[in-house]
């Protein structure tokens, strides 16, 4: 049995030494540290820590907020550890899920943390709504307007202008023009599938595995064998799984191109293990306009589509 330590700091400027020292003092055999915002889905070191842990090990963190983005994520993490026979130890909050008292304290503190986060999100949304009502939408103004992008594409397609000439016309850089010509922007990859489990001759499971949304089998089936043009990979941000006409799961795609694996002409997309709840979807992908449980019937023959974000 081993103790696997995990820590997180929210920016690259913050120092993780205090967490590392606490985890070392607790007797951790292996320590993983992420440098990422608490609201981001991508936690590569957390994924490595969970992959490293084995039955009988103890997963050690200093505080609940170091490992979870939300109460739902916290409970999913604890359930995943429980199913794998791994205990959770939270040093600063005195939680040890190997005991009934520790499990109760874990759920109570998690609920309080989620309540505080919801208050912050609610205040932020009210402020944004107030700003929009006054005509202020926020965000960086795009370098090229939609009309200019169309004109740039027409100029390029005419084969009468170089990219540099197009850039000079709109007083911008060649890189901006290339993005306008080749990039359709960030998008969610929507896949339509049947609720029935299917297995091919190689033993690969398609669609729904029947093992539960949070199972490793379902995560594998959600990740593998998707066709996608190489230049679009940096702009794929979420996977939406529509099962029998209903949005079943929305998973984030990790922001790490090195984690993509090619299978012939298809990709294994590095989707995140956590399933986003409605608040997380609204926070991370406010223009998606979809949530778990929404009806989204597929047109006949449609298997996949992209929704711009």
Known catalytic residues are 10
Asked if 222 and 271 count as a contact pair (C-beta separation under 8 A), the reply is: yes
24 backbone dihedrals φ, ψ, rounded to 5°: -65, -45
**Residues 161, 165, 170: CA angle, nearest 5 degrees:** 120
| Count of positions (residues) in the chain | 309
- Gyration radius from the chain CA atoms: 22
Dist CA 63 CA 214 (whole Å): 23
């Amino acid at each position: 049995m081993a103790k696997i330590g995990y820590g997180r700091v929210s920016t690259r400027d913050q120092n993780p030494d205090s967490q590392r020292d606490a985890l070392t003092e607790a007797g951790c055999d292996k320590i993983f540290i992420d440098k990422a915002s608490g609201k981001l889905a991508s936690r590569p070191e957390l994924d490595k820590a969970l992959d490293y842990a084995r039955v009988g090990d103890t997963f050690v963190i200093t505080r609940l907020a170091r490992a979870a983005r939300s109460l739902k994520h916290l409970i999913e993490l604890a359930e995943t550890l429980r199913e794998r026979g791994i205990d959770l130890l939270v040093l600063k909050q005195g939680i040890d899920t190997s005991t009934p008292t520790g499990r109760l304290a874990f759920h109570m503190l998690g609920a309080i943390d989620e309540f505080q986060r919801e208050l912050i999100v609610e205040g932020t949304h009210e402020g944004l709504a107030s700003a929009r009502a006054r005509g202020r939408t926020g965000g960086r103004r795009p370098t090229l307007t939609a009309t200019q992008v169309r004109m740039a594409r027409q100029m390029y397609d005419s084969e009468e202008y170089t990219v540099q000439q197009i850039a000079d016309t709109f007083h911008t850089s060649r890189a901006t023009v290339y993005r306008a010509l080749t990039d359709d922007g960030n998008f969610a990859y929507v896949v339509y599938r049947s609720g029935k489990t299917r297995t091919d001759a190689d033993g690969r499971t398609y669609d729904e595995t029947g093992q539960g949304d949070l199972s490793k089998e379902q995560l594998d089936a959600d990740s593998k064998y998707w066709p996608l043009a190489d230049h679009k990979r940096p702009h794929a941000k979420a996977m939406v799984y529509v099962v029998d006409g209903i949005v079943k799961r929305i998973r984030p795609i990790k922001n790490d191109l090195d984690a993509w694996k090619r299978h012939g002409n298809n990709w294994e997309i590095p989707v995140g293990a956590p399933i986003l709840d409605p608040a997380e979807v609204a926070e991370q992908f406010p223009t998606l306009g979809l949530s778990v449980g929404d009806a989204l019937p597929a047109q006949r023959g449609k298997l996949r589509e992209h929704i711009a974000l």
